[in-house]
Amino acid sequence: MTPKKKALISACATSSIGMMWLVTSAVLAYMIGTYAAQGASPQQIVMVMTIQPLVGVFMAFLTGPISMRVSKKLLMCTACVLTVISGIIYGVFGGQCSIGLLYVGAALSGIVSALASTVPNSLMAQYAVSFEERGKFSGYNNAFMQGGALLMSSVGGLLGASRWQNAFLLWFLAIPVLVLVLVLCFVLGAAMSACIQLAAIRWYL
């Protein structure tokens, strides 16, 4: 598999988690009911939906400079890890944890949205040598992002109908995405590099 194909697959897979925050909007009413019983006001829970885009916008401005200093592939792995952490906060401890911890999870999901929506495009731009390829790669990336949005909003609503915490189990889909990115970008890359070096040594000898 060529480096271009590995980058394309990894970028598209990461883009699919870029709209993860839609899960929260699908079950927000249930979350308000749970925490209202604990004495929290609806406005406090709605703040979760405010923090996510607020942090996302701020992080989006920083993603460009950060991606110039840090590996884009590493940033995609970071987005997957933060998605899993947010999934643990909401899916495992949701309803039992404090509102402050929900805000932390919302901030993390905002960071993920910024990383997963900008870094994949930046990565694919490195391998696109023509405007036609850039347009094609951008189309693939947007298709996966919209597919992820459809999954998060529709399936999230179905899972959250019985218990709203179940909707956030979708965020654990970031685990296979993380494994895919690690294998394609790091494991296979290192293995191919080692094979090339070994072949060069044998040819030289």
For residue 21, the one-letter residue type is W
Q: What is the C-alpha to C-alpha distance for residues 113 and 57, in angstroms, rounded to an integer?
A: 9
pTM score, two decimals? 0.84
| 125 in Cβ contact with 134 (< 8 Å) | yes
pLDDT at 79: 92
**Confidence bin at 189 (pLDDT 50/70/90):** low
Evaluate if residue 205 carries a pLDDT over 60: no
Burial (CB count within 10 angstroms: exposed 0-12, middle 13-18, buried 19+), residue 39 = exposed
Segment 42-65 mean pLDDT: 89
* Continuous segment of H or E residues that includes residue 194: helix 188-204
Evaluate if residue 198 carries a pLDDT over 80: no
**Confidence bin at 184 (pLDDT 50/70/90):** confident
pLDDT tens readout for residues 132-151:
777 788 888 888 888 888 88
The pLDDT mean for the chain works out to 84
pLDDT at 8: 85
Query: Measured in Å, how far apart are the chain's first and last C-alpha atoms?
Result: 28
Segment 64-74 mean pLDDT: 86
pLDDT tens readout for residues 157-171:
888 888 899 999 999
pLDDT at 166: 92
